[in-house]
Chain A
């Protein structure tokens, strides 16, 4: 079955309503009524959460209404298989990049990420791809750590090499 825009509209609305409900219940614990010093800390987030729930359901209702009115837009496929492939081939390496960066530091993560995408998606020769990754990583180091004196996240390997 193909995922249609309508399905995504409804799933998004339910997710947003859930976020609103999470906020509102979290706010309930803080107190949502009035104390002597004015509204309690949960007052504002509670009502904002309620508005979010209402608005999210209204957007789902609107999507269903538009379908009933014969809107072609709602029947459209959300992502064609080709588009899904393109988005995933970009998104998945990015997720791996974040994981690697958290554990091994920005420089290693960036170099590996640029290398992988240039090699696999770009079809570059491995050594050129490695060069792109390493040069960019070194450039990051000089721009951030040297020029702007902003330290980036480092992992065990930088520590081993004595780069702080």
Chain B
């Protein structure tokens, strides 16, 4: 019950007029960002971070987190009304959401999506509330070697469990790690890999990279296919909203299963995108006979949305308790934490309880606020997409560049955004995953310094990573995640080949 008291303390922090205003502003900004192409959650949060430098950390994190929830809701709105996923994690929602909206039931589709998203988020936050103290206490036993093992585990999990090709994931990870070493070395204080370029002395900011990769890169990808927004009517009928809410208990098993998927994928570095796809797939496999999936089946909306939001909220748990974010947006927020002078990880719970529990309490409130706000404002935000792209596109571009400039007041960052915009576009087309790159950039220096410290402690022997049960088992799990999925694939490949040969 200790957590309950702490949570009440958190509510006291979060329920001030100032913080509630910030939540509303955050959710609304998030909705804009989620609805507009080219502005996703990771890069929206990146754009907002420079504006929070002067705020106190609790208010800042409440604003950023609320924006994240808003972006998740906004992403589903465009998926359903326009068949355009505003966020990668809402791609699965288009499969059944858009057909249902097209058949004249857009209110039902939207309500199903928002309500199940709200429930998913709620379940995720309950999990965080229950587990966070325990996780942080567990993590207090971690030394440098254990930390390195956890970072290594996060990297391996991306390679082994990610949806992209393992080789390409490894490319993204190592590119991110390499970029993180540019500039001042935190351990020895020497300048590295600056090649005499003055602009590189302070390093490559991950915020600038995120804005380029996710902002400009995604816009270029949108432009390439030409823009045809064929939206369906976005009027919300209050009677339909209530009717749909009464319908929800019917999908109880779907919701429970999807939340479980979301929680698992959120805590491990699978992330919301993988969670929503997996949950959609499971719903299709386990569904009772009825209309086909892909034609507007309610479970096809409920499943991905619940998983998406429970994964999105659960991604905050490893970030807060261990300092290991499991999604791109959580990685950006964690970078923000470090900029505000906070060290994510178990010590945060003892040194900054107001911050941690204020954030957790705000997650309850802002997700509730989010569901209501999104139902009220959907017609307005849907109208944003009816603005011609030749007007809204350049505005998004301008905001991206302005945001990148405000990170460090440096015009050389504008060139970096341009370069990483093109990189993001090419990576997108060639299916290199972007999230591992961001994660590696944020974790790079921490991974390096924990490696450095463990090496000093062990006099340069890698044996330290297997020196006790804790670090040894984390390392073993990490290596297993790296090797087992690949070898399974290889065996399957060999088998199928043999069969072909036998048939021939």
Contact = CB atoms under 8 A, between A and B. Distances in A.
Contacts of A37: 188, 456
Interface residues of B, number: 56
Interface hub of A9, A12, A44, A45 (most chain B Cβ within 10 A): A44
Contact of B175 (A19, A118, A136): A19
Contacts of B251: none
B178 A48 contact: yes
A28 B167 CA distance: 25
- The size bracket of the interface on A is 35 or more
Interface in B280-305: none
Contacts of A97: 394, 397-398, 401
B192 A59 contact: no
A41 B190 CA distance: 7
A55 B167 contact: yes
B170 interface: yes
Contacts of A164: none
A93 B219 CA distance: 14
Main secondary structure of the interface of B (DSSP, over half): helix
Contacts of B171: 16, 52, 55-56, 59
B167 A23 contact: no
Contacts, number: 162
A136 B456 contact: no
Contacts of A34: 460
Given A41-B192, A102-B411, A144 B174 contact: no
A5 B426 CA distance: 10
B165 A78 contact: no
A152 B165 contact: no
Most A CB contacts (10 A, CB to CB) among B167, B415, B451 go to: B167
A150 B55 CA distance: 13
B174 A52 contact: yes
A113 B396 CA distance: 12
Given A59-B171, A114-B395, A136-B395, A45 B192 contact: yes
A66 B425 CA distance: 22
Interface string A113-140: 1100110011110000000100010001
Interface in B329-357: none
B392 to A, nearest CB: 10
Nearest to B400: A94
Given A30-B190, A42-B192, 8 more contacts: A41-B192, A44-B181, A79-B224, A86-B225, A93-B394, A98-B414, A140-B402, A148-B51
Interface of B: 50-51, 54, 165, 167-168, 170-171, 174-175, 177-178, 181, 185, 187-188, 190, 192-193, 195, 216, 219-220, 223-226, 388, 390-391, 393-395, 397-398, 401-402, 405-406, 409, 411, 414-415, 418, 421-422, 425-426, 429-430, 448, 451-452, 455-456, 460
